[in-house]
Structure 1
Amino acid sequence: MKLTPIDKTRYRRHLNLVFVGCALVLAALSLAISQLLIRVFPSPDGGHFHWNLLGVVAGALILGGGLSRLRHHPFLAEVVYVWELKQQLNKISRKLRRIEAAARQGDRNAMLALQFSYAGSRQLWQLDDNTIVMDELAAKQVELDQLAERHGLVLNADDYDQRLLERF
């Protein structure tokens, strides 16, 4: 995955529209499916919890399928990019201890993973206005830069590939 610049206002506007749209579609689908099931299979005791639950589950599956089909639409480009970035950062976070240990030993791939993680986190936090821990991130970046210099490496987040994580 390559880091790409994102227009923050466009991303936030599209994310909000996607959230609201998903909530409305899920509510409408759930109600419609539940009501259809209740009409087709009425319960003599009046308890329709299972039909309502099935309506919500079916609505969520339909919504998920629709989003999956629309994920390449230009309107969702920024939202999908951030979602994929979060997934990639999660994969790195799950292996962070081993990656950091390997980086201290001079492993170039580990340092590349950390470089990508720091650059991606910085971008993500700026998009979400989560700047509270930016100073901590800057300190980690300085530490990584010094480590790379000590081992004679030049790190570029664009050189990162998720296959680098397979070793850790």
Structure 2
Amino acid sequence: MQLIEINKARYRRHLNLVIAGCICGLIIGSLAISQTLIGLFPDASGSHFNWNLLGVVTASVTIALLLNKYRSHDFMTEVVYVWELKQTLNKINRKMPRLKAASLKGNADALLAIHYSYAGSRLLWKLDDNTIVMDELMTQQAELDSAAEKYHLTLNADDYDASILKQF
């Protein structure tokens, strides 16, 4: 997955609309479904937990299906890209202890994966205005750059391929 610069304002606007749409869809859908089921199949004891649960589950599944169906729509481009980038970074972070151990031995793939992780994290943190840990990331990036220089490697995030994680 290539790292690309995305329009922060468009991303935030579309993400907020998607979140608001999901929340509204969940509220309206679950209430409509559960109230319809309660009206059709009333419970003498007054407990409608099962119908309410079925309404929430049905609305949630419907929203998930709609999000999946429209994930390739132009409106969802930035939102889906960030979601997929977060998944990619999560895969790298799960292997980070092994990657760091291999990077100390000069493994070029490990150094590249860590570099990609840092570059992707920097991109996400800028999009989310999460600059609190940016100094720590810069320190880690400097350590990585010195390790790459030590082993005479040039790291480019565009060279990263997820298949290199299989060896760790």
Q: Any residues of structure 2 matched to 1:1-168 within 5 Å, and which? A: 1-168=1-168
For residues 115 and 93 of structure 1, the distance between their equivalents in structure 2, rounded to whole angstroms, comes to 12
- Could you say what the CA RMSD is over the residues aligned between the two structures, in angstroms? 0.8
Q: Judge which range, 33-42 or 158-167, deviates more.
A: 33-42
Aligned partner of 2:142: which letter?
Answer: V
Aligned partner letter, 2:123: Q
Counterpart-to-counterpart distance in 1, 2:28 and 2:162: 38
Q: Counterpart of 1:116 in structure 2: which amino acid?
A: Y
Query: 1:139, CA displacement in angstroms?
Result: 1.1
Measure, in 2, the Cα distance between the counterparts of 1:40 and 1:67. 30
1:40 CA drift (Å): 2.2
When normalised by structure 1's length, the TM-score is 0.97
Query: May I ask how many residue pairs the two structures share in their alignment?
Result: 168
Q: Counterpart of 1:153 in 2: which secondary structure?
A: coil
In the TM superposition, structure 1's runs of 4+ consecutive aligned residues that sit over 3 Å from their partners are: none
Which structure 2 segments of 5+ residues have no match?
none
What SS does the aligned partner of 1:43 have?
A: coil
Once the two structures are superposed, residues 67-108 of structure 1 have per-residue CA deviations (whole angstroms, 9 ceiling, x without a partner) of 011111111111111111111111111111100010111111
C-alpha separation in 1, matches of 2:37 and 2:107: 58
Q: CA deviation at 1:39?
A: 2.1
Q: Distance in 2 between matches of 1:47 and 1:139?
A: 57
CA drift of 1:65 comes to: 0.6
> Which stretch of structure 1 is more off in the superposition, 120-129 or 33-42?
33-42
Q: CA deviation at 1:167?
A: 1.1
**Partners of 2:28 and 2:116 in 1: CA distance:** 40
SS at match of 1:152: coil
Deviations 1:35-70 (A, max 9, x none): 121122221122111100110011100100110111
Task: Give the letter aligned to residue 10 of structure 2.
Answer: R
Consecutive unaligned residues of structure 1, counting only runs of 5 or more, are none
**Alpha-carbon offset, residue 13 of structure 1:** 0.7
